[in-house]
Amino acid sequence: MTDVPPTDSPWTPDRVAYRQLLAGQPAYRLDQLWQGLYSHDKPPEDQTNLPKALKASLAERLAPALELAAEQLSDDGQTIKWLWNLPDQARIETVLMHYPDRSTVCVSSQAGCAMGCGFCATGQAGYDRNLTVGEILEQVVAARRATGERRLANVVFMGMGEPLANYDRLIESLHRIVADFGIGARHVAVSTVGLVPQMLRFAEEGLQVGLALSLHAANDDLRTELVPINRHHPIDELVAACQLFRERTGRRVSLEWAMIDGVNDRPSDAAELAAVARAAAAHVNLIPLNPTPGWPTVGSPPDRIESFVVELRRRGVNVTVRANRGTDIDAACGQLAAARSPGGPTSVTISTGAGAPDVTDQPRPDRPGENRAD
Ligand code: SF4
């Protein structure tokens, strides 16, 4: 073996690193190995066309990072939540949602989250660590294996963690998802709570990946209460970042709005949101707040959501109400929770800001009336 840093997962090294690991092997071996990883979803140890000695040598450095700790199926059988143990005892969750002809996976980018949004189970539990590229991609691999006849058509980074806080690994993962797993960039979406410097960088990456901003309040006082990072990146900065993203990518940002009973679902909230959405040239996704143990309020009732939608539309805003998936197994927005496995260095409860939306459930300006985003 050559001087390549130890890695956690066979999906972590890039082609350059693998070229070093394969020193002395025939040139075709890299493509063979890469195809095994990204076309057949197999780690080197399961790739039958690799020589035994090479598999043994790779296995010393690389081993699949995700170990299944639990699997839950929603009542209708269409949503699956996986709880994974990571090699250092950290835990994460992944949600797979089936639709008639395709599937969407909602992946985690961090174990826990440092952003501290009060209504989110992940935020209530605190931060553990960033995931590696391999830990992120293995969630996609698991989803591809589980989709069977269906196609894994969409990947959304709306699971545990703030994806833009794990920036470099997120970008590397996105490139591999698009180039190597062959999932179109427009079928991939990343959510952020509003890390403005990273949003500005993201706009310049040349990716056609969607960006969803978890807004939840359109005035700084309320937003800072709900989403503490707003203290550092207030709404006018977010609007400017959304505008830049639109300018550089041609894609609209989606503003995510968890409907919280009596908190952000009044006509005055709709008026403020409409002003921000118009300034940001953004689409709005409304999500009824999901119950979490550590937040005393509940989601808005259906009639309030309906009035909110009417008010937004009256003000010229393009808005979608998302159907929640997997609430019965705590797999919906903000509900994911994964404690460190026993014996780990700390005992933490983790959950996610995921809502596991489908990126194709949003409107597209190029297809008026169609319920897609970008
Ligand atoms: S909503 Fe997102 S950013 Fe906020 S605490 Fe939850 S996972 Fe983190």
Q: Per residue in 18-67, pLDDT tens? A: 999 999 999 999 999 999 999 999 999 999 999 999 999 999 999 999 99
pLDDT of residue 298: 85
CA gap 319, 313 in Å, rounded: 7
Ligand 1 neighbour 79 (Cβ under 6 A): no
Ligand 1 neighbour 162 (Cβ under 6 A): yes
Q: List the catalytic residue out of 113, 120, 242, 333.
A: 333
- d(CA 126, ligand 1 centre) in Å: 10
Q: Which residue has the tokens 């940001």?
A: 280
What are the structure tokens assigned to 48, written together?
């039958």
Q: Which residue has the tokens 């070229």?
A: 19
pLDDT of residue 75: 86
Coil/strand/helix, residue 301? coil
Radius of gyration of the chain, Cα coordinates, nearest whole angstrom = 21
CA gap 364, 366 in Å, rounded: 5
pLDDT of residue 133: 97
**Phi, psi (deg, nearest 5) at residue 50:** -95, 145
- d(CA 38, ligand 1 centre) in Å: 30
Ligand 1 neighbour 104 (Cβ under 6 A): no
Handedness of CA 348, 172, 139, 12 (dihedral sign): negative
CA gap 190, 192 in Å, rounded: 7
Coil/strand/helix, residue 147? helix
Give the residue ranges of the chain where pLDDT is below 70. Answer: 1-7, 291, 293, 326-374
Angle at alpha carbon of residue 372, lines to 320 and 159, rounded to 5°? 75
CA gap 82, 71 in Å, rounded: 5
**Extents of the domains making up the chain:** 15-61, 67-361
Residue nearest (by alpha carbon) to ligand 1 atom 6: 353
Q: Which CATH superfamily is domain 67-361 in?
A: Aldolase class I (3.20.20.70)
pLDDT of residue 330: 66
120 part of the active site? no
Contacts 24+ apart (CB under 8 A), 14-22: 14/172, 21/58, 21/61, 22/54
Q: Report how far Cα 302 is from the mean position of its chain's Cα atoms.
A: 26
Q: Report how far Cα 298 is from the mean position of its chain's Cα atoms.
A: 23
Q: Which atom of ligand 1 is nearest to the CA of 113?
A: 8
283-288 vs 319-321, strand pairing mode? parallel
333 part of the active site? yes
pLDDT of residue 341: 54
